[in-house]
């Protein structure tokens, strides 16, 4: 594979740092790498591919000198920089929600709808972290048995919010365990509206008028777009849990025709990027501490594994 030049916007952030680690782990063919972040980080050096690379400001000139631009920053940053980079001839891979639902921007999970990349016009979007495992499970099953509806419950780690939230969980946990006189009411949360240590928050992103959160509606709308299934019924409840790394999901899938758990296991086991972990009588099932750090598929910085539903959960 021919080496390419890339720029990483948001290189100093939590996702950006994981991206740099993945580049090195996979020995990605890079001829030149440019690291970009906010003005306060300019000049800071990050280690990548065995080199110390200084952080720069993202500029049109820089974008004109690279083949790909990976943006792992806020939606505002993506909206400001992605069109500029695309205009300069670079292909933008955007990790924010800024362009996901734009009709002319492919929203891609490579194993699920990789061919959609061919229709890009300079910008390619990466789906929300909770959407990716959902479509990875649904895609191979839908090819065998039409899916009527899906109820998804997520248990999302604090890493999805960023490094500050990870540190907040660590600090709050220490405070509560080291001082018996403290209660949750004595803690001052910053990353979330309530303390996250030893707690669960059914509140990821703002609530909307329909009663769902923005995170939950992302799962609905993005799933429909990725699977090219505008009529599939999806309902999601997204919960932030006091776990450092790795999101988990429970999926309740209703199929058009009867299907056994054994068939589901076989279908998922044959799908690239999915690892079946399902022997509950032997206490073997997916857990965040086992999934974190693994790379079962190529489309996300956070890793997930899936438990096959029981017969009663599969529907008929």
Q: Is 36 in the active site? A: no
Three-state secondary-structure class, residue 300:
coil
Q: Using alpha carbons, select from 304, 297, 301 the residue that is nearest to residue 21.
A: 301
Give the Å distances, CA to CA, from 65 to 9, 184, 250, 284.
Answer: 14, 51, 44, 49
Say if residues 247 and 155 touch (Cβ distance below 8 Å).
yes
Euclidean distance between CA atoms 14 and 24, whole angstroms: 16
How does DSSP assign 187-226, residue by residue?
A: ---SSSSS--TT--BS-SS-B-TTSSBHHHHHHHHHHHHH
What b-and-e string marks burial along 157-187, b requiring 16 or more CB atoms within 10 Å of the CB? bbbbbeeebbebbeebbeebeeeeeeeeeeb
Look-up of token digits 């999934």:
291
Question: Which one from 129, 203, 228, 252 is the annotated catalytic residue?
Answer: 129
Angle of helix 261-269 relative to helix 131-142, nearest 10 degrees, comes to: 110
Q: Is 129 in the active site? A: yes
Question: Which one from 36, 48, 238, 247 is the annotated catalytic residue?
Answer: 247
Residues known to be catalytic: 129, 247
């Amino acid at each position: 594979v021919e080496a390419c030049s890339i720029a990483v916007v948001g290189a100093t952030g939590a996702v950006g740092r994981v991206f740099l680690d993945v580049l090195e782990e996979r020995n990605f063919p890079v001829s030149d790498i440019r690291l970009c972040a906010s003005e306060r980080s300019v000049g800071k050096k990050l280690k990548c591919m065995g080199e110390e690379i200084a952080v720069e400001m993202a500029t049109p000139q820089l974008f004109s000198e690279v083949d790909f631009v990976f943006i792992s920053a806020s939606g505002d940053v993506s909206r400001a920089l992605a069109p500029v980079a695309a205009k300069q001839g670079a292909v933008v891979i955007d990790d924010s929600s800024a362009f996901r639902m734009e009709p002319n921007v492919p929203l891609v999970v490579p194993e699920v709808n990789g061919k959609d990349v061919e229709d890009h016009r300079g910008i390619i979007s990466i789906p929300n972290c909770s959407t990716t495992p959902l479509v990875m499970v649904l895609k191979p099953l839908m090819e065998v048995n039409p899916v009527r509806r899906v109820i998804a419950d997520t248990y999302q780690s604090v890493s999805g919010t960023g490094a500050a939230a990870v540190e907040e969980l660590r600090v709050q946990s220490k405070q509560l365990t080291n001082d018996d006189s403290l209660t949750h009411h004595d803690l001052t949360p910053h990353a979330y509206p309530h303390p996250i240590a030893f707690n669960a928050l059914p509140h990821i992103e703002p609530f909307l008028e329909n009663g769902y959160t923005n995170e939950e509606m992302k799962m609905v709308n993005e799933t429909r777009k990725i699977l090219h299934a505008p009529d599939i019924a999806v309902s999601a409840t997204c919960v932030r849990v006091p776990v450092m790394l790795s999101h988990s999901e429970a999926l309740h899938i209703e199929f058009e025709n009867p299907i056994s758990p054994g068939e589901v296991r076989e279908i998922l086991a044959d799908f690239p990027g999915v690892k079946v972990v399902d022997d509950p009588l032997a206490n073997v099932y997916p857990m965040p501490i086992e999934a974190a750090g693994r790379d079962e598929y190529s489309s996300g910085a956070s890793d997930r594994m899936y438990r096959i539903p029981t017969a009663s959960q599969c529907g008929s």
